[in-house]
Amino acid sequence: MVKEEEDSSNRPDNTAFTQQRLPAWQPILSAGIVIPGFVLIGLAFIGIGVGLFLTSRDIQVLEMDYTGADGSSPCSVCYNLADKNCVCTMSFSIDSLIKGPVFFYYGLTNYFQNQRRYGVSRDDKQLYGDTSNFASPNSECAPYQYISNVPIVPCGSVANSMFNDTFELFKNVNGQSLPVPLDGKGIAWWTDYNVKFQNPNVTPLINAFNGTVRPPFWSKNVYELDTTDASNNGFINQDFLVWMRRAALPDFRKLYRRITDGDYSAGLPAGNYSLKIHYNYPVNGFGGKKKVVFSNVSWMGGKNEFLGIAYLVIGSLCVVMSVVMLIVYAKFKFPEDN
Amino acid sequence: MIRVRNFNNDKFSIYWPALAAANLNWFCDLGVDERRVDNRTIYIGHQSSLVNEDFIPPKFCDNRIVSSKYTVWNFLPKNLFEQFRRIANFYFLIIFLVQVIVDTPTSPVTSGLPLFFVITVTAIKQGYEDWLRHKADREVNKYQVTVLENGQETPKESENIKVGDIVQVKENETFPCDLILLQSTRDDDTCFVTTASLDGESNHKTHYTVPDIERDLKSLNATIECEQPQPDLYKSLGPENLLLKGATLKNTQKICGVAVYTGMETKMALNYQGKSQKRSAVEKSINAFLLVYLCILLSKALVCTTLKYVWQSKPGQDEPWYNKKTQKEKDTNLYLKMFTDFLSFMVLFNFIIPVSMYVTVEMQKFLGSFFITWDKDFFDPEIQEGALVNTSDLNEELGQVEYVFTDKTGTLTQNNMEFIECCIDGFQYKHRGASSELDGFCVTDGPVNKLQQKAGREELFLRALCLCHTVQVKESTEQDQREDNLDQVDGLRIDENVLQPPQKERGFIASSPDEIALVKGAMRYGFTFLGLESKTMKILNRNKDVEMYDLLHVLNFDPVRRRMSVIVRSGSGEMLLFCKGADSSIFPRVRQEEVERIRLHVERNATEGYRTLCVAYKRLSEEEYAQADAGLREARLALQDREEKLLAVYNQVETGMSLIGATAVEDRLQEEAAETMEALQRAGMKVWVLTGDKMETAKSTCYACGLFQRKTELLELTVRTLEDGERKREERLHELLGEYHKRAVQDAPPVKAGGTRVCFASNQDYGFIIDGASLSMVLNSSSESNMRSYKDLFLQICQNCTAVLCCRMAPLQKAQIVKMVKSSKGSPITLSIGDGANDVSMILEAHVGIKGKEGRQAVRNSDYAIPKLKHLKKLLLAHGHLYYHRIAHLVQYFFYKNLCFILPQFLYQFFCGYSQQPLYDAAYLTMYNICFTSMPILAYSLLEQRISIEDLIEDAALYSENAKNAMLRWGLFLYWTGLGAFHGLVFFFGVRFLFSNPALQDNGQVFGNWSYGTIVFTVLVFTVTLKLALDTRHWTWINHFVIWGSLAFYVFFSFFWGGIIWPFMKQQRLYFVFANMLSSVSAWLVIILLILLSLLPEILLVVLRNPRDPHIVPLLVPDKHD
């Protein structure tokens, strides 16, 4: 203010940026680009759609409800869980070979694993094998944090409500029931199994759990989940891992076993089967349903009609639109372009 | 030795209206006695404290200027307080606090982090600005000044000046505080000052020293009584001895003055505050949209809360065995639970109102305004300056202007006067370029044989021109030599060709450029004004003789009299009065028989756009002079009603004169004035010229710059047309208004709805002319009802005219007109451009004020300053258009992208038992607006050129595409909202159908809820970014970098975030979710499908609206084109 402006060299910089003259690409979506583009995209989509559709159609799925809510099902006796160790058997037959590898899923409906409170009620530090969190579990685990001041491991609603129905599959051959080997490995994410979940570094494993108590719903301790295989026991039990990965929607299925071994590596051949169910998991309180699913998968995963149809629809829409545009342009635009 | 203690008996007392002073109770001196509350007593040189011991020297504030807001210590609390006073920030703070207190679905970090970011960025920006202010303050406060202490020149820092100090100021320095002038090195005890930084007037003003002061300031022992500081700058710029801080000393080597007001009490500081905030139309739109989104947010939360409790009332749903509640939850009151649920939903959906939008908008405005200052087209080599942006908040308003109010003198015209011709006794003399010799008085229409007789009159006329003025000859001091060809008026260059070589170094200084033009005109015809030395004016006449005249009195120019006079005594003892002034003020005071022949010329010159002045003289006898002299002296010394008394004496003296002739001075149009005006009109703007000048001159300027054209039918509402008939003015006004209204409004074909442009080709153009007197009749009509209707009629007429000329306007009337238009129906955006102090009020009133660079440092009242009028074209047509387009797109895009961000989260509540389960991970919620999608839109909003700058300037009509806030209308807002909703639905349900079988990998494993959210989020980020890419018409490398970079960053971040088990987190929700997703072919396919499905309608619209004209690249307007 006191000084007069003395700086006479305040001429603005003459650079492309300051003068807003940066070289620029100015694309214009003209009909000449868009119409062929649409045709190409449309055709590509139709191609993918057909592929998806056919693939999805080839996937074989066998789905059985075993809730037993309606009384006609063999599992009706177990529905109310009066008997602690209720077992029921479902018989079914397969008309043609379900090509392997066959995946064995269990499914639940109206089960809100995506509830917020439910979802946060877990302690990932515990599950990572951090024994300091064994003594004082994450407070989010409440109401499954302590039982009379003894900490619960693994704590929280998610772990507590782990699915505990177990299944045995038999193939009926000439009146004999031959057990179908079920592979419980490889059903959980590799990273969950190898990194995210870890048993505490204590041998024997049971010592790590001194002074803790198992979740109230559980009949076994976590270190007894699979006593036959140390690599499938404790927190890295794959059934446990599968359960701990919360489903996105209230009607979901989770992978139970893979049928890959021995005679069944090519799939489940046609024939009669019986499924022995150890019915432990209550669903009557919230009106849920339980089911088992046998399915094979393709490169796109399980059976899903949606993708194929959607691709077909969008692809054909693109083609139709390009035709419409062609007509519109032929009528109105092209003459004036010249 | 003088000791002035009485307010009333000497000129030394500061003389200001007592009323205004009485209203101001100042704190500085706490009432020694009653009178001192209104006045302050100042001891010059601090020498008087001995006089009365019981008097405590009053405390005045020091000379520090503090324009900064914060100090290091109070920055944090004060700045935070200020920031949280903004409604948006406060809202986010509340959300954050709710998250901290209540058990909510997302951690406080998700909203705390963006808020922290916003607050930090703003704080840094404000801190930086304050640091600049501190720096400027320091520069001012530490400026070295010379203070006389006991006669010794002591250097001091400016901030240490105390009231009562005697300060010495050299030429071209600014005054460090308000001073009373005690001594000047000029012989006549005057000094010259420009107040450009105070009121924008760059002409030289003369100030006088306090009379009868001893030469030796050391022994001076005196006091000054003056009133307390008051801010009124425009009332008067102080009495003639007061030098204001911020003014600059000119053409005087050195002065000494005593400091009377210092620091924050100076006029400049008192005037510094109080610039009202102007809010842009875009901001208003944002607030309206915000309200809509707030309603959406509230209704979403309400719907979810209601449905939650409806759903829970079904058996088994409320508390299934696998999800037991804690005891605390069970004990909570139902209504309290509902309320916390409602709050939780609010928190969950609060991202729909984007925090980051405010930051981005502010950054866009702040950074965007640099493009104006950087533009080299705005650089004017003459004044070595480019454009200046004072308010970046209004950038986009430049693209919305409907009415342009422009000043004439100095804005449309150059205010660079050139003597064109004169007329003496009815004969026209025209100067014909440099070829004419000194005696080359070219007679164009006078009979040659009368030459002898005429010569006397010619010389008299030229002497009058040489004597009747207040021009100073610039003395050549050392530093003047360097800038000797710079005329000091407005720093404008003297036309070299006009000056004769020997007079080359002669510079003139005057308060009005007209005077210089006249003196130079006389010089061209052989009469050279040599200067004023101790009241003697010297003239070099045609015969190279020096004539001496004693300057007896100057009857100063004032805008009421519109004339000035001098009384001189010639060498032969003859008393002469020369008077020059506007024709209207001279003609009644001269013999009527002389008038007619001159009037013809004056009127013709006026219609040609020249500024005309008439020159008259009168011989005074000794008695007459003695009488006039006595009257003038008496009036000058009067303390009451001095102005009135002086006026009376002036009027009495300036009578019975005889008219000699008239002059015509051309005020040339600014460069490219006509092109600029034409472009503005074609852009659909209405140009109104508001000027204090007379109608003929203004009209001709309007013709010259193309505002009026030949075929334009002029509707005139001036005193002249009003006085046509016999009837009263009021009636005539009523009649004329009615008639014009019928012609311009009712008979004109209705302007197309929505279009603001007047069709030029098809119909009759109307131009409207009104003068100040008529305007005040329209605005202040006697009866209330008439006034309303007159005002409406007037407005309607004006709105249908292509150009409106308002002449003879007072500054306040200019502001009145702007205000009237601004508040008329549809509240159009107005822009005022002007250069002088008299334009300040209208600049402040208008939405956007632009100031030409003439009043250079006074640009602080304007929002934008450009060096020349011609720059207005690019500023509006190119910069304004682009800014508006950019920011409008930015706003719409922001709302859109947050709607399709939050809608899936809302929909997910229907599938998770209304449990406030977030669909996306907290990191994504937080980063979405900050990192993943912020940079591309910022780059777009800074760099986009939908239409190239050249085309915008070329085709002015493109400007009107954005008229009336076109891109932020509700229709378009609905379109964008619909688009956001569509995208949100597509994202959510597309993935929902995919997840009907969550086994998406070829190993049969299933995906969980975080995979669901991540797929939706991936589609979301890609879609909104590609949507912006589709809208981008101008891909610079920066756009490429940020668009593809953002997407790459998203992918990189997701890998990184999910690839590590972060020790600080309780839950590892996203561990390898993203990588797993990418290993699924189905996920890839659905992502591609959904992105394409979302963008398909966009591409279709773009193509179907594809232009015939390459300029009109499709605006995404939902209506069908074909």
Residues A99 and A138 in one domain: yes
The number of distinct structural domains making up chain A is: 2
Q: Is B912 on the interface with A (CB under 8 A)?
A: yes
| Chain B CB within 8 Å of residue A282 CB | yes
Distance to chain A for B1023, nearest Cα, Å: 17
> Does B917 contact A48 at a Cβ distance shorter than 8 Å?
no
Note whether residue A245 is domain-resident. Answer: yes
Q: Do A317 and B1096 touch (CB under 8 A)?
A: yes
* Three-state secondary structure of B182-245: EEECCCCCEEEEECHHHHCCCCEEEEECCCCCCCCHHHCCCEEEEECCCCCCCCCCCCCCEECC
A161 with A83, same domain: the answer is: yes
Give the gap in angstroms from C-alpha B856 to the nearest C-alpha of chain A. Answer: 11
B923 Cβ contact partners less than 8 Å away, ≥ 6 residues apart: B1057, B1070
Contact A333 B1076 (CB under 8 A): no
Per DSSP (E only), the strands in B369-527 are 388-389, 403-407, 413-424, 427-430, 472-474, 507-509
Distance (Å, whole) CA B580 – CA B169: 35
Using left for φ > 0, alpha for ψ between -120 and 50, and beta otherwise, residue B140 falls in alpha
Q: Does B69 count as an annotated binding residue?
A: no
Contacts of B332 in chain A (CB under 8 A): none
Do the Cβ atoms of B197 and A248 come within 8 Å? no
Residue ranges with strand state E in A136-289? 146-147, 150-151, 166-173, 176-179, 252-259, 267-268, 271-279
* Range(s) of the domain holding residue A263: 68-296
Q: Please determine, for the modelled complex, whether the ipTM score is greater than 0.90.
A: yes
pLDDT at B349: 92
- How far, in whole angstroms, is CA B491 from its chain's centroid? 22
Interface residue B31 vs chain A (CB under 8 A): no
Q: Which residue of A has its CA nearest to B169?
A: A2
On whether any CB of chain A is under 8 Å from the CB of B617, the answer is no
Within 807-866 of B, beta carbons closer than 8 Å to A belong to none
Residue A337: inside a domain: no
Q: Which of A114, A243, A246, A332 to mutate to test the interface with B (most CBs of B within 10 A)?
A: A114
Look at residue A9 and tell me if it is in a domain: no
Mean pLDDT of A46-68: 93
Cis peptide before B58 (omega within 30 of 0): no
B103 is catalytic: no
A205 and A262 in a single domain? The answer is yes
Decide if B1004 and A187 are in contact by the 8 Å CB cutoff.
Answer: yes
Residue B675: both structure tokens together: 């092109």
> Is some CB atom of chain A closer than 8 A to the CB atom of B367?
no
Shortest CA gap B957–chain A (Å) = 22
Q: Please check whether residue A80 lies inside any domain of the structure.
A: yes
Q: B712, B844, B837, B995: which is closest to B276 by C-alpha?
A: B844
Residue B1007 in contact with partner chain A when CB distance is under 8 A? yes
In a domain, A17, yes or no: no
**DSSP code for B743:** I
In angstroms, the CA A10 to CA B373 distance is 10
Structure tokens at B1070: 């996203």
Q: Between residues A308 and B491, which one has the greater pLDDT?
A: A308
Name the stretches of chain B with pLDDT < 50.
1-36, 49-50, 200, 233-238, 273-275, 433-450, 477-505, 751-762, 853-858, 1107-1122
- Give residue B850's pLDDT: 64
Report, in this order, helix, strand and coil percent for chain B, each rounded to 5. Answer: 50, 15, 35
A233 and A114 within one domain: yes
Q: CB–CB of B438/B543 below 8 Å?
A: no
| Per-residue CA distances from B37 to B5, B24, B95 (Å) | 15, 9, 51
Decide: helix, strand or coil at residue B612: strand
Q: CA-CA distances (angstroms) from residue B1020 to B402, B834, B986, B988?
A: 39, 50, 10, 10
pLDDT score, position B55: 54
Determine if residue B199 is labeled as part of a ligand binding site: no
pLDDT in tens, B173-221: 888 888 888 888 877 777 888 765 555 455 677 777 776 666 666 667 7
Q: Measure the CA–CA gap between B365 and B372, rounded to whole angstroms.
A: 11
Mutate to test the interface with A, among B322, B483, B1076 (most CBs of A within 10 A): B322
Cross-chain Cβ contact B317/A286 below 8 Å: yes
Q: Is A7 within a domain?
A: no
B951 marked as part of a ligand binding site:
no
Q: Which residues of B touch A117 (CB under 8 A)?
A: 323, 325, 915
B883 touching chain A per CB within 8 A: no
Within a 13 Å sphere around the CA of B689, how many CA atoms are in the beta-carbon half? 35
Give the A window 12-71 contacts with B, CB below 8 Å: 12-14, 18-20, 22-31, 34-35, 41, 45, 48, 52
User: How far apart are the CA of A204 and the nearest CA of chain B, in angstroms?
Assistant: 26
**Dihedral sign, CA of B118, B124, B130, B133?**
negative
- Give yes or no: residues A212 and A304 share one domain: no
Cβ separation of A116 and B912 shorter than 8 Å? yes
* Beta carbons of A8 and B384 less than 8 Å apart: yes
Q: Is B839 annotated as a binding residue?
A: yes
Asked, for residue A224, whether it belongs to a domain, the answer is: yes
Give phi and psi for B674, each to the nearest 5.
-65, -45
- Judgement on whether residues A189 and A270 belong to the same structural domain of the protein: yes
**What is the number of CB-based contacts under 8 A between chain A and chain B?**
288
Q: How many Å apart are CA B1102 and CA B890, to the nearest integer?
A: 19
B1066 at A interface, C-beta within 8 A? yes
Distance from C-alpha of B371 to C-alpha of A12, rounded to nearest angstrom: 10
Single-letter residue type at B1074: F
Together in a domain, A214 and A321: no
Co-location of A147 and A223 in the same domain: yes
- Return the half-sphere exposure (C-beta side, CA atoms, 13 A cut-off) of residue A187: 28
Q: Are residues A143 and A50 in the same domain?
A: no
**For the segment B1004-1061, what is each residue's pLDDT rounded down to a tens digit?**
899 999 999 999 999 999 999 999 999 998 999 999 999 999 999 999 999 999 988 8
Cβ neighbours of B1118 (radius 10 Å): 14
Q: Name, in order, each residue with C-beta under 8 angstroms of B217's C-beta and a sequence gap of 6 or more.
A: B45, B148, B151, B166, B182, B183, B256
Tell me: do A51 and A152 sit in the same domain: no
Among the partner-chain residues B315, B316, B1012, the one whose CB lies closest to the CB of A248 is B1012
Q: Is B73 on the interface with A (CB under 8 A)?
A: no
Contact check, Cβ <8 Å, A101/B1004: yes
Query: Are residues A44 and A77 part of one domain?
Result: no
Whether residue A186 is contained in a domain is answered as yes
| B1044 part of contact set with chain A, CB < 8 Å | no
Q: Which residue of B has its CA nearest to A311?
A: B1089
State percent of chain A over pLDDT 70.
95
> CB distance from A112 to chain B under 8 Å?
yes
B332 touches chain A (CB under 8 A): no
pLDDT attached to residue B154: 84
pTM for the full predicted model: 0.80
Q: A302 with A203, same domain?
A: no
Query: Which pLDDT value is given to residue B475?
Result: 59
Q: Do B1108 and A336 touch (CB under 8 A)?
A: yes
User: Is B693 annotated to bind ligand?
Assistant: yes
Count of CA atoms in the C-beta half-sphere (13 A) of B884: 27
Whether A300 and B1085 lie within 8 Å, measured CB to CB = yes
Identified catalytic residue from B165, B407, B490, B583: B407
